[in-house]
């Protein structure tokens, strides 16, 4: 279990960070909790969100409505605190969320090669998340790797695990052997998040 120190003060600080996400993205994260931890686990998270003053439930989330992007970090931290999630659990749950996400499914149905997915992912990111600039800085088909960068996106280190899981989950639609590693991180003093995808 991760060593999580979490409080109302931390929740308030997180939720003051500007930026929104479409409900479709948030819904996929909550649905993944239900799949991973069951109805009881999801109920614990939803109850804690109410107690912290930032209520949201799987049933009430609307796909096209905008919700705070920081809610993703808050939910992941609650999963660590209340459900005993490890870093690996956060990553795996994000992979699962990508499979449940309408955003991911639409992108994968439209673009059937990894190269085209990477080329069009920044456009789809902007349609669903109001903060951060996503780019594919390198695609090497011969050596089977790609470099993805996310600039202007700083919430909490726990979100790095979710981002990695979500991205690789999307890529596995078209390249099942895809793996991912974060090679740079804003929270470690770098200018952007950078992920290397290999297959």
Q: What is the pLDDT of residues 69-81, one digit of tens each?
A: 999 999 999 999 9
Per this entry, what is the length of the chain? Answer: 199
Tokens representing 96 are: 């699962």
Tell me: pLDDT of 9 over 60: yes
Fold type of domain 112-198: Muramoyl-pentapeptide Carboxypeptidase; domain 2 (3.30.1380)
Strands (DSSP E) along the chain, which ranges?
Answer: 20-22, 66-68, 133-140, 145-151, 179-184, 193-198
In the chain, list all ranges with CATH 3.30.1380.20: 112-198
Average pLDDT over every residue of 183-192? 98
What CA–CA distance (Å, rounded) separates 5 from 46? 19
| Higher-confidence position of 124 and 43 | 43
What CA–CA distance (Å, rounded) separates 124 from 47? 31
Average pLDDT over every residue of 107-132? 84
pLDDT in tens, 80-115: 999 999 999 999 999 999 988 766 666 566 667 888
């Amino acid at each position: 279990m991760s060593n999580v120190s979490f409080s109302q003060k931390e929740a308030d600080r997180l939720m003051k960070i500007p930026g929104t996400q479409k409900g479709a993205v948030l819904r996929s994260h909550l649905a993944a909790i239900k799949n991973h931890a069951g109805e009881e686990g999801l109920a614990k998270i939803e109850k804690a969100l109410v107690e912290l003053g930032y209520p949201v439930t799987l049933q009430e989330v609307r796909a096209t409505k905008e919700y705070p992007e920081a809610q993703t970090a808050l939910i992941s931290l609650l999963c660590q605190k209340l459900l005993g999630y490890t870093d690996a659990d956060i990553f795996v749950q994000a992979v699962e969320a990508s499979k449940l996400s309408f955003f991911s499914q639409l992108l994968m149905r439209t673009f059937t090669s990894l190269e085209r997915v990477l080329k069009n992912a920044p456009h789809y990111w902007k349609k669903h998340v109001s903060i951060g600039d996503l780019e594919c800085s390198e695609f090497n088909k011969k050596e089977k790797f790609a470099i993805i960068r996310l600039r202007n996106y700083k919430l909490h280190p726990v979100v790095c695990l979710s981002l990695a899981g979500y991205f690789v989950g999307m890529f596995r639609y078209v390249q099942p052997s895809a793996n991912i590693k974060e090679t740079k991180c804003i929270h470690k003093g770098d200018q952007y998040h950078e992920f290397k995808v290999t297959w």
